[in-house]
Amino acid sequence: MIFKQLFDQETWTYTYLIADPVSKDAVLIDPVNTHIDEYVKMLDEQGLHLKYSLETHVHADHITASGHLRQRLGAQTGVSQLCGAETADIQIQDGDIFEFADGEQIKTIATPGHTRGSLSFLWRDRVFTGDSLMIGGCGRTDFQGGDAGAQYDSITQRLFTLPEDTLVYPGHDYQQHWVSTIRQERTTNPRLAGKSREEFIDIMKHLNLPKPRLIEEAVPANRRCGLEANERQDTVAVRETARPVRHEISPQDMVAEAKQHISEVNVATAKQLLAEGNIVVVDVREESEYANGHIDNALPVPRGVLEFKIGNIPELADKSKTVLAYCRTGGRSALAAQTMQQLGYKNVLSMAGGFEAWQKEYNRKS
Ligand SMILES: [Fe+2]
């Protein structure tokens, strides 16, 4: 799969591209109107067909590209049914699943609070949280039907209940963070970690933030999918709008699916391979887990930044070399091994049972 995290420097907004190089289906989440030509070029270069352009919410700080992407590429636009964006092709509801490529699914999780219609999207082991949950923060709740109590409930009951290793990709970041995990946010996010609902509401009440510069312009424009009031809303004469389907895919399913495509070795085999040498060991856990103990000479490459960092690691320049990936229990490393295979690595192994099994077997901390 193709996955890209794109950044708009003007508004600190992240846009995400998910695409399948085989079927050529592509999905954009939160595209920004000043980058339309770049998106079209990027999709064109890879022969991709934009199936969906989805919004996590009606933004107040930038204008969406979705209406123009619909006009130029025939993409279907999707916004929460609670956002008042009647011109969107799909009025998204909680639980809606967008299917694309061969069996890929993006599941909608309603996370109201920042706005009434705020949504998060779960794809594989990644959740795109918009302004509901950010890295070390969260979106403000003082306009557009915002509600701090609802925000707390959405984050703690819907997002923090996802598997701990789920990667969190926010709608904005102001400190050059790219990605986090549910565990990291649950345990370190200063607005949420250890905070009661009342404490959170009190924090949100006293943020004293200035009004967004573009709000008067952006909100009405985004309700029209970013088009001018007098612009035609569609370009394709007869448009077939598919309803998203509703069913569930669990994170356990994702790991099980990944394991069908990768090779696993047990701890004893891993140990033997290490003794024989000529193998690169990659620890895909978070840095804090690595710091608490790891296999000797393992390279710390957290799963969340693997695609971004891998090209800069000299030991991984030769894609034909055998790589052993491990995590805590073997789930994340299965997903990482699959990602590395897709990036062209020929011999990637995932260690079943992970570092916990390793420690149990050898009863020591490396
Ligand atoms: Fe927002």
Tens digit of each residue's pLDDT (9 = 90 or more) over 338-353: 989 988 999 999 999 9
Q: What is the mean pLDDT of the chain?
A: 90
What does each C-alpha distance from 2 to 74, 113, 262, 294, 342 come to in angstroms? 20, 31, 18, 30, 9
**What is the pLDDT at residue 246?**
64
- Calculate how far, in angstroms, residue 100's C-alpha sits from the geometric centre of ligand 1: 26
pLDDT of 365 strictly over 60:
no
Query: How confident is the model over 53-65, as a mean pLDDT?
Result: 95
Place of tokens 């695409």: 19
Query: How confident is the model over 97-112, as a mean pLDDT?
Result: 93
- Calculate how far, in angstroms, residue 294's C-alpha sits from the geometric centre of ligand 1: 39
* 232: its two tokens: 């035609």
Helix (H) or strand (E) holding 45: helix 36-45
Name residue 105's beta-bridge partners: 99
Query: How confident is the model over 315-319, as a mean pLDDT?
Result: 94
- Calculate how far, in angstroms, residue 216's C-alpha sits from the geometric centre of ligand 1: 13
**What is the pLDDT at residue 201?**
96
Query: How confident is the model over 48-63, as a mean pLDDT?
Result: 95
Cα separation, 164 vs 169, in Å, equals 14
- Calculate how far, in angstroms, residue 42's C-alpha sits from the geometric centre of ligand 1: 25
- Calculate how far, in angstroms, residue 159's C-alpha sits from the geometric centre of ligand 1: 17
User: What CATH number labels 252-362?
Assistant: 3.40.250.10
- Calculate how far, in angstroms, residue 271's C-alpha sits from the geometric centre of ligand 1: 49
Cα separation, 136 vs 185, in Å, equals 6
pLDDT in tens, 241-277: 556 776 655 667 778 888 988 999 999 999 999 999 9
- Calculate how far, in angstroms, residue 63's C-alpha sits from the geometric centre of ligand 1: 11
pLDDT of 2 strictly over 80:
yes
- Calculate how far, in angstroms, residue 266's C-alpha sits from the geometric centre of ligand 1: 46
Question: Residue 129: CA atoms inside 13 Å, Cβ hemisphere, count?
Answer: 35
Place of tokens 């612009």: 231
- Calculate how far, in angstroms, residue 131's C-alpha sits from the geometric centre of ligand 1: 5
pLDDT in tens, 164-206: 899 999 999 999 899 999 999 999 999 999 889 999 999 999 9
- Calculate how far, in angstroms, residue 183's C-alpha sits from the geometric centre of ligand 1: 23
- Calculate how far, in angstroms, residue 60's C-alpha sits from the geometric centre of ligand 1: 6
Annotate 266-298 with b (16+ C-beta within 10 A) or e (fewer): ebeebbebbeeeebbbbbbbbeebbeeebbeeb
- Calculate how far, in angstroms, residue 221's C-alpha sits from the geometric centre of ligand 1: 14
pLDDT in tens, 31-45: 999 999 999 999 999
What does each C-alpha distance from 300 to 16, 133, 178 come to in angstroms? 25, 26, 17
Residue scoring higher pLDDT (236 or 281):
281
Query: How confident is the model over 17-37, as a mean pLDDT?
Result: 96
One fold for 2-247 and 252-362? no
- Calculate how far, in angstroms, residue 36's C-alpha sits from the geometric centre of ligand 1: 20
**What is the pLDDT at residue 235?**
46
pLDDT in tens, 68-91: 999 999 999 999 999 888 889 999
- Calculate how far, in angstroms, residue 141's C-alpha sits from the geometric centre of ligand 1: 9
- Calculate how far, in angstroms, residue 112's C-alpha sits from the geometric centre of ligand 1: 11
Confidence of residue 105 (pLDDT cuts 50, 70, 90): very high
- Calculate how far, in angstroms, residue 223's C-alpha sits from the geometric centre of ligand 1: 13
- Calculate how far, in angstroms, residue 290's C-alpha sits from the geometric centre of ligand 1: 34
- Calculate how far, in angstroms, residue 151's C-alpha sits from the geometric centre of ligand 1: 13
Neighbours of 30 (CB within 10 A): 26
CATH C-level class of 2-247: alpha beta
pLDDT in tens, 195-247: 899 999 999 999 988 888 888 888 888 888 888 877 655 544 344 555 677 66
**What is the pLDDT at residue 217?**
86
- Calculate how far, in angstroms, residue 150's C-alpha sits from the geometric centre of ligand 1: 15
**What is the pLDDT at residue 321?**
94
**Domain spans of the chain, in order of start:** 2-247, 252-362
pLDDT of 305 strictly over 60:
yes
Provide the residue count of the chain: 366
